[in-house]
Structure 1
Amino acid sequence: MVKWIELTNFMCPACPFGGGSDWICNMDRLPVYLNEEGSMKCQFGSHTGPLINWTWNCGSDYHKGEFLTADFEGFTFAMSQAVQLTSRAGAEWVAALLHNIGKQYGK
């Protein structure tokens, strides 16, 4: 069974200036969740998909109002800053997530 973790205080993986943010779905304004398989969803699952297809906008000027996809390096850097994911989900969950994200990006 997969474990979904709410993305709170998570660095923007799509820009170099992204500070921590509590991510919400742009469509329904509900919290966004991530699981160890690399899938994202909004709170009730009405919007879901692989992390590689998700788009991000932290509000910095870098985005110019657009939602951008994250590359593998950007997302792994954001993960490295997200110590709370390890404390909330465990090291095995984070390791599985990184492995699955690598597969999505062909790494």
Structure 2
Amino acid sequence: MSKNVWVKLKEFKCPSKHCTSKKPLKWRCAKDDHSVYLSQRGIIKCGSKGDQHRGDLSRWGWNCGSEYHKGKFNRADFEGFTFAVSQAVQLMDKMGSQWVQELMGSIGKQYER
């Protein structure tokens, strides 16, 4: 794939390390309340006009609202995000196996795996 192909994160479990929430969510940006999108290159963005908030997945903070977070945004570790992706059937169904394979390779590089 030559360009970023984006998918809206919905029905996606919290990837924060040690978070025990099992509830899949439609992720919204804390800064502007817009939907959050993920590309196969491991880039997260939000905002309806361009890429106001954008960054590498490994540097993105997550807060699903569970008590674990105590109001803080936590980065996901490699294992937590990999587990969240494995639970997100929508990614494979909607984006296809090549997209998911490229995503896993991209986040592996971000986490130096």
Same-fold call, TM cutoff 0.5:
yes
RMSD value, Cα = 0.9
Q: Is contact 1:18–1:58 with CA below 8 Å preserved after alignment?
A: no
Distance 2:33 2:44 in 1: 15
Give CA-to-partner distance per residue, 1:2-37, whole Å, 9 cap, x none.
210000010000023242010011100000000000
Taking structure 2 as the reference length, what is the TM-score of the superposition?
0.91
Aligned partner (choices 70, 76, 100) of residue 82 of structure 2: 76
Could you list the runs of 4 or more consecutive aligned residues of structure 1 that deviate by over 4 angstroms after TM superposition?
none
Aligned partner (choices 21, 25, 34) of residue 38 of structure 2: 34
Aligned partner (choices 6, 18, 21) of residue 17 of structure 1: 21
Q: Sequence identity, in percent?
A: 50
1:21 alignment partner, SS class? coil
Taking structure 1 as the reference length, what is the TM-score of the superposition?
0.96
The unaligned stretches of length 5 or more in structure 2 are none
Number of residues of Structure 1 aligned to a counterpart in Structure 2: 107
Give CA-to-partner distance per residue, 1:56-107, whole Å, 9 cap, x none.
0001111011111000000000001001101111100000000000000000
